Structure 1
Amino acid sequence: MPPPNAPAATTPPSAWHPASWRTHPARQMPTYPDAQALASACGQLAQFPPLIFAGEVRALRAQLAEVAAGRAFLLQGGDCAESFDTLDGAAARETFRVMLQMAVVLTYGAARPVVKVGRIAGQFAKPRSADTETQGDVTLPSYRGDIINGAPFAAADRAPQPERLLRAYSASAATLNLLRALAQGGFADLHQLHAWTADFVRHSPQGQRYQALADRISEALAFMAACGFTSQHMAQLREVAVYTSHEALLLPYEEALTRRGDGLRAQDTGDWFGGSAHMLWLGERTRQLDGAHIEYLRGIANPVGVKIGPQATPADVLALLNAIDPARQPGRTVLITRMGAGKLAAHLPPLLAAVRDAGHPAVWACDPMHGNTVTTRHGVKTRDFDNIVQEVREFFAAHAQEGTVAGGLHVELTGQDVTECRGGGQNLTDDNLQTNYTSACDPRLNGSQSLELAFLVADLLRGR
């Protein structure tokens, strides 16, 4: 197998294939000490069934096209980085639970359907600002996520391990199996509205507001049942569609799981699909036009997200869209802004105007998390809820100014009672952060803060 950082070359559009990224410069990629072991692991992955199927990808693209047109709203959320150590299903269930609650708040408040995409069942790789980490006199490779190496600062853990790709596949399959069971097995039934509330959220102001909303919906469901419309007869009341997504960083893994057509027959033809998740995205560190990540993502039919920071120019964004979606297909691209509170008013409107005027049907989503990370005096990474709220408000204000569609929200969250972000209705401070700080990487909103943010966004959507 050729090394991931092979020299750059230009690949004609007609010459795209799942491995064509290997002729482009690949950033944020680990160096595996045993290339043969990596090739063996990827060979095994290539024989496995895809984690998702072409029909699901097409369904998501159709729904994202509705988001781009302003007839639906995208809610994308989940862990900063999933861990192999939390595979008992509790973390996935709690994330799904809070996303259901947020979706109900948004649907009821804004009177539009919500497309639910989790940062889940595959978010095992993380970009790093440096290839190595030094502690004392020892320098080791940086921790890049459980799919690549281990977090403990030891040489055996930090060396990239190809067998972790196989473990990531198994972990993703298990989580996806649980999500599908929850989504279709009764857990997502609207009659369970009250049961979705975690105990620590129930007595908070936003928990009480949610309970009042759930009461009104329950009354409407009771009326519908009296008219003969029950969850037994209407799948829309008892089931939801949930999709998976992750950052496409580890390209050998993505290549090994790429399939053509429905991915089940050797003779399949037609579009290529990334089989690791329904949607994949590019980060700020890997969206170079000549880079391997864009080369891979331009050839698959999955929806592709692109993170857009405050340094991006209109020319940058248009070039990215032309590379990934030259045919301008609705539902193909999601532009995810992550600029930081106080920066959107100056930086976002010119980007919105350029994309609007060029006629690209991209979805615009707001990531109010990554531009607002700070470190406390005790060396703990956190985010201030007030800054998150400010960035969301500025996102909606910029779209109102340009007459464009504020299409979605992209957040790092968990339904668990973590104490990783300051503020919110619980008034978490620096002194509270270490009470239950469990993130493997960046700080996440807890269930209470997530619900509070959903009510804010619902109010903003209703105002539009």
Structure 2
Amino acid sequence: MTEKTDWTKSSWRNFTALQQPNWPDEAKVDEVLQTISNLPPLVFAGEIRDLKLQLAKASAGEAFLLQGGDCSEEFARCTAPNIRETLKVLLQMAVILTYAGGKPVVKVGRIAGQYAKPRSSDTEMVNGMEIPSYRGDMVNSVEPTPEARIPNPENMLKGYYLAASTLNLLRAFTRGGFAALHRVQAWNQEFVKQSPMGRSYERLAKQISQAINFMQTIGIPTDTPQFRQAQFFTSHEALLLGYEEALTREDSTTGGWYDCSAHMLWIGDRTRQIDGAHIEFLRGVLNPVGMKVGPRHDIDEILAIIEKLNPDNEPGRMTLITRFGAREIEKYLPPLLRAIKKEGINVVWSCDPMHANIRKTRSGHKTRSFDDILSELRCFFELHWAEGTVPGGVHFELTGDDVTECTGGARQLLDDQLGENYLTTCDPRLNAEQSLEMAFQIAEMIRS
């Protein structure tokens, strides 16, 4: 493994760091970060290594990455029911992809840390008044007043504790019986159960239950971790570098450095400058790293960034999360696939079909069309098949709630219905029913 003798967990401070809050009191920031640096890690190096091994299989086409969750987690929604419903829909999607698609699924949530968000400007106009932009609950408040938008470093400490609470509940759910395959039918939410997708899921769940009963009948034990537990990993955008540094620890068994705020971190389209602070920080931690790639990319720069982040070409280290949009993917993805393939670079190819498909309705709601999302996904798979590369995963913004934020799907949600239950403070998410429908569609593509 390449020695990073010129890297420390704070060496990023010598580089330009974009998308950082304008903290009014740097001394207070330092005090909060010192407190966090003395608190226990949120995840552990061994878990991170487990995820990297599974992602290595996804890069080779032997597994499939399912990454999903909230656009931007809200502190107020860190409750047991909300965490359970998000986990439940991801477990349902994973079961559909595994059983109908025929591949093991690597389950990674955008959860327990997705509290900060990049913005295109430091300020925004609200009701004719210019105020600081909302940068996620870990920085300031969504309430549109100048006072609420002042960045508060104490929010980082609150974010740590809420992430710890979320992880505690996720571990209890995934290891304490809630995620057992025997309960696969019990995961169906009431509002989904009555829908076409809910009925499709119910049929699949019955087939799985029958298979488990058959195994029990012929004497194959099903009271094993493979049946009783689920492996579930966390991820978020590594945006607030001070917070990430505070949770970066040296592993006592290997001596390597791991960012213990999450199992997987990703770098956004706005912060992947090769000479920037985010790349400098992430090149030294041993977590799996995702990188968002949108239309405004330079292929040579992408290759140079990958070389910097993964000089040993380690399988499972790098995930490229493409976000081109349904109308642009055919233009931008093939040249990128060819360049990576030509260089023999190991990556997990994942599709984010959400971010480049946003539109605004006449009522002012930001939304995404289910058909556009599905169209980009289909094109993603077809282009990989044409180029002889591996479509290794998907990346969704979704929720287990019955929200009305994305149009279309089996219930054909229309623009004028978005106001019925539009809850997001950030970008529109698929609801549970739309998520299941998407999973059935992806399973067909995986099986093809």
TM-score band w.r.t. shorter chain = over 0.9
Q: Which residue of 1 aligns with 2:278?
A: 293
- Confirm whether residue 247 of structure 1 aligns to residue 237 of structure 2: yes
How far 1:31 moved relative to its partner?
1.2
Paired AA for residue 193 in structure 1 = V
State the partner residue of 2:7: 16
Residue 161 (structure 2) aligned to one of 170, 184, 190: 170
1:3 aligned residue: none
Residue 187 in structure 1 maps to residue 178 in structure 2? yes
1:358-386, CA deviations, whole angstroms, 9 ceiling, x for partnerless residues? 11110000000001011101111000000
Q: CA deviation at 1:13?
A: 4.5
Aligned AA (2:212): L
Give the alignment partner of residue 293 of structure 2, picking from 302, 305, 308. 308
Q: Which residue of 1 aligns with 2:302?
A: 317
Task: Say whether the 8 Å CA contact 1:313–1:351 is kept in structure 2.
Answer: no
**Could you tell me how far apart the structure 2 residues matched to 1:98 and 1:78 are?**
9
The corresponding residue for 1:416 is: 401
Q: 1:77 aligns with which of 63, 68, 82?
A: 68
Among residues 336, 348, 351, which one is paired with 2:321 in the alignment?
336
1:384 is matched with: 369
Select between 219-228 and 453-462 the one with higher mean Cα deviation: 219-228
- Counterpart secondary structure, 2:380: helix
**Partner amino acid for 1:460?**
M
Secondary structure in 2 matching 1:273: strand
Aligned length: 446
Could you tell which deviates more after superposition, 250-259 or 341-350? Answer: 341-350
| Secondary structure of 1:76 counterpart | strand
Residue type at the aligned position of 1:38: V
Greater shift after overlay, 319-328 or 56-65? 319-328
Preserved CA contact (<8 Å) 1:230 1:237: no
Give the CA deviation at 1:342: 2.0
Partners of 1:118 and 1:80 in 2: CA distance? 11
**Counterpart residue number, 1:5:** none
Residue among 217, 225, 228 paired with 1:235: 225
Letter in 2 for 1:145: G
Worse-superposed segment, 269-278 or 418-427: 269-278
Q: Is the 8 A contact 1:258 1:275 kept in 2?
A: yes
What is residue 106 of structure 1 aligned with on the other side? 97
Cα distance in structure 2, aligned partners of 1:310 and 1:401: 20
In 2, Cα distance between equivalents of 1:138 and 1:406: 46
Q: Which residue of 1 aligns with 2:357?
A: 372
1:136 Cα deviation from its structure 2 partner = 4.6
3-state DSSP of counterpart to 1:196: coil
Q: Which residue of 1 aligns with 2:443?
A: 458
Cα distance in structure 2, aligned partners of 1:311 and 1:136: 32
Q: 2:267 aligns with which of 257, 275, 282?
A: 282
Distance in 2 (alpha carbons) for counterparts of 1:38 and 1:269: 31
In the alignment, the residues of structure 2 paired with residue 365 and residue 335 of structure 1 have an alpha-carbon distance, to the nearest angstrom, of 6
**Range with bigger deviation, 312-321 or 346-355:** 312-321
In the other structure, the counterpart of 1:126 is 117
User: 1:62-93, CA deviations, whole angstroms, 9 ceiling, x for partnerless residues?
Assistant: 00000001000000000000001112221111
1:437 equivalent to 2:422? Answer yes
Judge conservation of contact 1:78–1:411 (CA < 8 Å) in 2: yes
Matched residue, 1:198:
189
Structure 1 residues 393-421: Cα deviation after superposition (integer angstroms, max 9, x where no partner): 00001100110000001000011100000
Q: Distance in 2 between matches of 1:436 and 1:152?
A: 19
C-alpha displacement of 1:206: 1.4
Contact 1:344 1:398 in 2 (8 A): no
Alpha carbons 2:59, 2:347 under 8 Å: kept: yes
Measured after TM superposition, the shift of residue 137 of structure 1 is 5.2
TM-score, normalised to structure 2, is 0.98
- Which letter maps to 1:172? A
Moved more, 428-437 or 310-319: 310-319
Say which SS state the counterpart of residue 391 (structure 2) adopts.
coil
Cα offsets for 1:34-87 (capped at 9, x unmatched): 111000000000100110000000000000000001000000000000001112
Contact 1:145–1:151 (CA<8 Å) still a contact in 2?
yes
RMSD: 1.2
CA distance in 2, matches of 1:419, 1:162: 33
Which residues of structure 1 form unaligned runs of 5+?
Answer: 1-11, 263-267
Could you tell me how far apart the structure 2 residues matched to 1:215 and 1:307 are? 38
In structure 2, the residue corresponding to 1:206 is in which secondary structure? helix
Q: CA deviation at 1:457?
A: 0.5
Aligned to 1:195, what secondary structure does the other structure show? coil
Give the structure 2 partner of residue 356 of structure 1: 341
Contact map agreement 2:64 2:104 (CA 8 A) in 1:
yes
Query: Bigger CA drift: 93-102 or 148-157?
Result: 148-157
CA distance, structure 1, for counterparts of residue 81 and residue 436 of structure 2: 19
Counterpart secondary structure, 2:147: helix
Q: 48, 57, 82: which one pairs with 2:39?
A: 48
